């Protein structure tokens, strides 16, 4: 006979909320697993009525989408949380933001309008700072990279080394003069010159092509080798406008539905 857990089943889900949060400063070195632990502690500390799965090992119904790699900062990380009691999104945002460490900042919470959040995260826009590299050096390498039909890179994964094309996923790549206002308002400062700044838009593919893969491709294709570690920040992730290569806000549909 099959065993069943003791006690009543968990309360049903009555509300689903989507959160946008950041990884800033030293917290960019937080791994995805570290963030999961920090969030679950913050949920308990803030008294969030999170819904739980059934079974012998119930777990909070929190789903994550498109997490940035360890070491990369981000202004656009997303998750969805299911609740057993309805709450005001702004109140939950404030409570969770206060319970999380500075740098892991909850900047927006909206009620979901349905559909899978992951399906909206089609592409990401990145800023990549290259201390010790002049804008002219970076621009020449970008031209060489974009002229190639395919640039293979190899990355060590949990299943061993994997070789894949880094060029095909790149929608847009160029050198810009300054950091975007979004990062300046968040307190980011450009290292002293020389420091080239790349603006990159990349499709979400399988395997995922990350900014460090593009830098590896620039090294192999155009011999661009920054003397200092680069700093990578995700500005946005969401639907991709194929016409102009821009990345839209994935929470727009949820926001519009809430205001309807």
Q: What is the pLDDT of residue 47?
A: 96
* pLDDT of 162 strictly over 70: yes
Region 30-37: mean pLDDT is 93
Each residue's pLDDT tens digit, 208-250:
999 999 999 999 999 999 999 999 999 999 999 999 999 999 9
Is cis: bond before 207, omega within 30 of 0? yes
Look at residues 226, 208, 228 and name the one whose alpha carbon lies nearest to residue 32.
208
Q: Which two tokens stand for residue 156?
A: 């060590």
Average pLDDT on 128-141 reads 97
Residues contacting residue 184 through CB under 8 Å, at least 6 positions apart: none
The answer, yes or no, to whether residue 78 has pLDDT greater than 80, is: yes
Tell how strand 231-238 and strand 73-83 pair up.
parallel
Residue 239 · residue 248 · CB < 8 Å: yes
Question: Please, which residues have CB within 8 angstroms of residue 243's CB and are 6 or more apart in sequence?
Answer: none
**pTM above the 0.85 mark?**
yes
Give the SS3 label for residue 202. Answer: strand
- The share of the chain scoring above pLDDT 70, in percent, equals 97
Report, as an integer, the average pLDDT of 22-42: 94
**pLDDT of residue 54 exceeding 90:** no
Residue 156 DSSP SS3: strand
Q: How many CA atoms lie within 13 A of 62 on its CB side?
A: 18
What is the arithmetic mean of pLDDT over 157-179?
Answer: 93
Would you state the structure tokens that stand for residue 143, as one six-digit string?
């031209």
């Amino acid at each position: 006979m099959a065993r069943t857990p003791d006690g009543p089943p968990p309360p049903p889900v009555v509300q689903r909320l989507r959160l946008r949060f950041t990884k800033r400063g030293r917290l960019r070195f937080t791994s995805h697993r570290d963030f999961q632990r920090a969030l679950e502690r913050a949920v308990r500390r803030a008294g969030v009525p999170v819904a739980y799965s059934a079974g012998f090992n119930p777990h909070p119904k929190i789903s994550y989408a498109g997490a940035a790699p360890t070491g990369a900062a981000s202004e656009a990380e997303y998750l969805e949380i299911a609740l057993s009691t309805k709450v005001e999104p702004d109140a939950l945002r404030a409570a969770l933001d206060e319970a999380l460490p500075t740098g892991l900042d909850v900047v927006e919470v909206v009620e979901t309008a349905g559909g899978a959040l992951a399906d909206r995260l089609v592409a990401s826009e990145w800023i990549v700072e290259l201390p010790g590299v002049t804008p002219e050096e970076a621009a020449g390498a970008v031209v060489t990279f974009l002229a190639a039909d395919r640039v293979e890179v190899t990355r060590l994964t949990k299943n061993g080394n994997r070789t894949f094309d880094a060029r095909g996923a790149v929608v847009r790549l160029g050198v810009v003069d300054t950091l975007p206002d979004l990062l300046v308002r968040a307190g980011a400062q450009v290292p002293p010159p020389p420091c080239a700044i790349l603006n990159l838009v990349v499709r979400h593919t399988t395997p995922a092509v990350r900014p460090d893969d593009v830098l590896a491709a620039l090294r192999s294709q155009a011999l661009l080798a920054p003397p200092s570690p680069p700093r990578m920040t995700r500005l946005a992730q969401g639907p991709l406008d194929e016409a102009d290569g821009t990345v839209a806000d994935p929470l727009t549909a949820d926001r519009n539905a809430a205001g309807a």
